[in-house]
Structure 1
Amino acid sequence: MATTTELQHVNKRKRKNKFYHSLFYTSTCFGVVALALLLIQVIVQGGSWLSWDFLTNFSSRIPENSGIKAALVGTLWLMLITAPLTFIIGVSTAIYLEEYAKDTRLSRIIQTNIANLAGVPSIVYGLLGLTVFVRLLALERSILSGALTMTLLVLPIIIVSSQEAIKTVPQSLRNASYALGSNRWQTIVRVVLPSALPGIMTGSILSLSRAIGETAPLIVIGAVSYVAFLPKSPMDTFTVMPIQIYNWASQPQAEFSYVAAAGIIVLLVMLLSMNAFAIYLRNKYQRKF
C-alpha cells in the first residue's frame, strides 16, 4: 500500500507534468499561429503581384515594373555551386572522421571546432569570405566568392548530420562486407554510404535551406542589391533573392512592400521545391536500404 507521502509525491509529479505539457503545447501553438498569420499576410499582399512579368523583369524604381529575374538567376547560380561543394566536402570529412580517424587528441579538437563553428554568427563567415576569397584570392565580388562563403557557413551542419547518419549504420553490416572480401573503401562506398544516405540527405536539406535564406554574409562580400543583367559565369557580380527582397522592403513607396511579399512567395516556393526533391531522394533510398 502506498503511503500518504508517496501519493502526494506522485500527485505533485503529475501536476508538474501537466503544467509543462500545457506550457509547451501553448508555446507550440503560439509559434504555429504566428507563422500562419505571417504566411497569410505575405500571400494576401504578394499574391496579386505575382505574374510572368514579375519573374522575367529586372528590378526597377517603378513598383509595377519591378521583377525578380536577376535575383532568381543569381540564387540558382549560388545554389548550383554551393550544393555540390558542401555535399562533397562535408560527406568526405564525415567519412574521414568516422571511418579513418582514430580517437586522438587532434581528432577530438577537430570535432569540437566543427561543433562550435555551427554556432558562429553568419556575419563572421561574411568577414572571412571578404578577407580570404574577395581580397586574398582576388576572386572579387563574384558568384564564386559568395558560393565559397556560403559553403563555409553550412559545412558544419552537413558534417555533423553526416557523422550521425554514418554512426547509425550497424557494425554488423561492415563486418559482413569484410567477411565477403571487401576492403574498407569498398565497404564504405557499397554498404555504409547507401545505408547512411537518408540521414545525409536530411543534413543537405538543412544546410541548403539555411544557405538560400542568408543575407548578411553576401552583403559583406559585396553582393549588390540592383543588377540589370544576368550572370553568365561564376566570376560575374550578382544579387540573390533575400537581398533583393530586403531592398524592396526598405523602399519608402508602399507598393514596394507588396513587391517584396511577391518575392518572398517565390523564395518560399523555390525553397520548398528544393526540400521536396531532397525528401523524395531521401525516402527513395530509405525504402531501398
Structure 2
Amino acid sequence: MAVLSTPRSAVQLAGKGQPVREHLFRIALISSLAIAFIFLAALLTYVLVEGWPRLDSRLWENMPSIRDPEIAGAQSAITGTLWVISLTALFTIPTGIAAAIYLEEYADKSRWWNRVIELNIQNLASVPSIVYGILGLGIIARALALGFSVITASITLGLLVLPVVIIASREAIRAVPPSIREGSLALGATQWQTISRQVLPAAIPGIATGSILALSRAIGEAAPLLMLGAVSFIRFNPDGVFASYTVLPIQIFNWISQSREGFHYLAAAAIVILLAILLLMNSAAIWLRNRYQKRW
C-alpha cells in the first residue's frame, strides 16, 4: 500500500507551490485587463464628452469649413471614407479568399515557390503602413497614372490588409475537418465542388470575421493616405473612383491641428462617428460568426 501511495504523494509534494504561482499569474492577467479597460473607458468618455456638443445633424450634413467651426461638418470625409472602404473590400476580399483557397487546397507544399509565397505573406502582414503608402505613390499613382484618387487609395489599402485577409481565410479553411472533404470526394464530387459546396460554406464565419477586422484596420489608416493626396479640406463628395477625396482620419487630424477650440470639439465628434462605424463593422463580424458557426 505504501508503494501504491508514493506516486500520488510525490505529485502532491511537487505541486505544493503551483497554486500560489497560478494565483499570482491570474492576478497579473486580470490586473492587465483591468488597466486596459480603464484606459479605454477613460479615452472613450473623454472623446464622447468633448464631442457631445457637436454630435448633431450638422456633423454629417454640412461640408468642412476653415473659418467657422459652428457650421463645419464632415460630410465629404464620411462619404470619402465609405467610398474608399467599399472599394477596398471589393478588391481585397475576393483576392484574399482566392489566394487562401489556392494555398490551402491546391498548392503543393513541397514546391519552393509555394513556400516562398507563404513566407512573404506572413512577412507582409507586419510591414508598416507608410511603406504601402510609398508603394502606392510610386507605382499606383504615378507609374499606373491613376493619380491621387479614390481608386488609388483603395488599391493601396487593399494591399495593406490583403495579407491579413489571406491568413484569416486560410485559418478558417484549415479549421474545416478533413472528413468533410473526404466524404464529399468519396461520393464522387470534384475537388472544386467539394471546396465550393462544403469547405467554403463551413469556413464563412472565420473568413467574414477576419475580413471585416482587416477592413476595420484599413478604415482608421491615415499615414498611407497622406502619401496619396488625401486632401484635408474638400467641400464636395467624391463622384467616382477617379475623384479627389478625403477620409475621416485625415479630417480629424486637420481639425486637431487648428488652434480654435471649436475645431477640437469637431474632431472629437468625428472620432465618435469613426468609432461608431468601426463598432458596426465589428458587430457585423460577431453576428456573422455566431450566425454561421458550426461545431464539429
Same fold (TM over 0.5): yes
**1:186–1:49 CA distance, 2 compared to 1 (3 A):** same
Q: Is 2:264 the partner of 1:263? A: no
Displacement of 1:247 in angstroms is 0.9
Query: Quick check: 2:213–2:285 contact (8 Å CA) kept in 1?
Result: no
After TM superposition, where is structure 1 displaced by more than 4 Å over at least 4 residues in a row? Answer: 1-9
| Alpha-carbon distance in 1 for matches of 2:153, 2:11 | 62
Q: Is 2:105 the partner of 1:99? A: yes
| Alpha-carbon distance in 2 for matches of 1:46, 1:64 | 13
Aligned to 1:213: 220
Count of aligned positions: 289
Equivalent residue for 1:152, pick from 145, 156, 159: 159
Equivalent residue for 2:229, pick from 222, 227, 233: 222
Aligned to 1:118: 125
| Alpha-carbon distance in 2 for matches of 1:27, 1:245 | 30
| Alpha-carbon distance in 1 for matches of 2:294, 2:283 | 16
Displacement of 1:115 in angstroms is 0.7
Larger of the two Rg values belongs to structure? 2
Q: Is 2:279 the partner of 1:278? A: no
Query: Quick check: 1:142–1:236 contact (8 Å CA) kept in 2?
Result: yes
Displacement of 1:7 in angstroms is 6.2
Aligned to 1:201: 208
Instruction: Give the aligned CA root-mean-square deviation in angstroms.
Output: 1.9
Which ranges of structure 2 fall in alignment gaps of 5 or more residues?
Answer: 1-5
| Alpha-carbon distance in 1 for matches of 2:83, 2:9 | 69
Displacement of 1:207 in angstroms is 0.5
Amino acid at match of 1:275: N
Amino acid at match of 2:268: A
**TM-score, scaled to structure 1:** 0.95
| Alpha-carbon distance in 2 for matches of 1:245, 1:48 | 16
**TM-score, scaled to structure 2:** 0.93
**1:37–1:183 CA distance, 2 compared to 1 (3 A):** same
Aligned to 1:71: 77
| Alpha-carbon distance in 1 for matches of 2:269, 2:177 | 47
Query: Quick check: 2:208–2:289 contact (8 Å CA) kept in 1?
Result: yes
Aligned to 1:87: 93
Displacement of 1:253 in angstroms is 1.1
Which ranges of structure 1 fall in alignment gaps of 5 or more residues?
Answer: none
| Alpha-carbon distance in 2 for matches of 1:109, 1:28 | 38
Helix, strand or coil: the match of 1:11?
coil
Amino-acid identity (%): 46
**1:78–1:31 CA distance, 2 compared to 1 (3 A):** same
